[in-house]
């Protein structure tokens, strides 16, 4: 069995610098399982995930984050960090940046969320999670879940759940066939730790 991957272990490098580990844990998203699913670990690291499927997961996560990016950019038009994380996720797939570069921009995007609330904050987190997929493929669901949270938060009062369901369905419509069943099963298994975002 693969080693445990706690939220602290997986998300620690993405936490804003200068915070102690206790405070980092408070700020980190609860989206990763305690035991890593080998389907989201690359073959070279002892799992079953192919590079081509890893790339598809990164592209899908980038699309999910980009779909709500306007919610961040309308609140913080001069902050490029979330957009850069999405661009780096795609650049990683093309072989133009390293995994470490993509992961670092994901961390910077999460830093952009730090002082925000609501839809803008969730949209920045979605971008950060998308950037982190190059490092830990299971962050794909973080990008999707945060995008759904952003859609919910941006909706008029009383319409949040419906907006979240529409966003979730849009995301599912974007899934490439090669990873569709993998992601849908992952959503089923992690829905509870992803704020029930995938009830659509």
Q: Are 190 and 31 in contact (CB under 8 A)?
A: yes
CA distance 56 to 130: 12
Q: In this structure, what DSSP letter does residue 37 have?
A: -
Backbone angles phi, psi at 166, to 5 degrees: -65, -40
Residue 7 lies in a domain: no
User: What is the number of structural domains in the chain?
Assistant: 1
Is residue 200 one of the residues assigned to a domain?
no
What is the predicted pLDDT for the residue at 151? 98
Query: What pLDDT was estimated at residue 31?
Result: 86
| Domain membership flag for residue 73 | yes
Place of tokens 């490092």: 135
Count Cα neighbours of 119 within 13 Å in the Cβ-side half-sphere.
20
Domain assignment present for residue 190? The answer is yes
Q: Within a domain: residue 4?
A: no
Residue 33 lies in a domain: no
pLDDT in tens, the chain (200 residues): 333 332 323 333 344 444 444 344 334 456 899 899 999 999 999 999 999 999 999 999 999 999 999 999 999 999 999 999 999 999 999 999 999 999 999 999 999 999 999 999 999 999 999 999 999 999 999 999 999 999 999 999 999 999 999 999 999 999 999 999 999 999 999 999 999 999 99
Tell me which residue range forms the domain holding 85: 51-194
Q: Does the global pTM surpass 0.75?
A: yes
Q: Does 9 fall in a domain?
A: no
Domain-located, residue 178: yes
Predicted local confidence at residue 55, as pLDDT? 98
């Amino acid at each position: 069995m693969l080693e445990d991957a706690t939220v602290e272990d997986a998300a620690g490098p993405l936490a804003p610098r200068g915070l102690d580990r206790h405070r980092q844990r408070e700020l980190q998203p609860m989206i990763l399982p305690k035991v890593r699913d080998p389907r989201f670990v690359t073959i070279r690291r002892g799992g079953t995930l192919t590079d081509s499927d890893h790339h598809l997961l990164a592209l899908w996560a980038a699309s999910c984050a980009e779909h709500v990016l306007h919610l961040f950019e309308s609140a913080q038009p001069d902050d490029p960090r979330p957009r850069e994380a999405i661009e780096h996720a795609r650049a990683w797939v093309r072989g133009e940046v390293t995994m470490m570069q993509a992961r670092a921009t994901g961390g910077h995007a999460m830093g952009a969320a730090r002082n925000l609330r609501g839809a803008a904050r969730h949209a920045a987190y979605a971008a950060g999670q998308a950037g982190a997929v190059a490092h830990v493929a299971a962050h794909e669901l973080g990008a999707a879940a945060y995008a759904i949270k952003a859609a919910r938060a941006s909706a008029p009062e009383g319409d949040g759940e419906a907006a979240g369901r529409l966003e979730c369905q849009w995301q599912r419509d974007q899934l490439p066939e090669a990873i569709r069943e993998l992601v849908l099963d992952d959503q089923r298994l992690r829905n509870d730790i992803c704020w029930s975002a995938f009830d659509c």
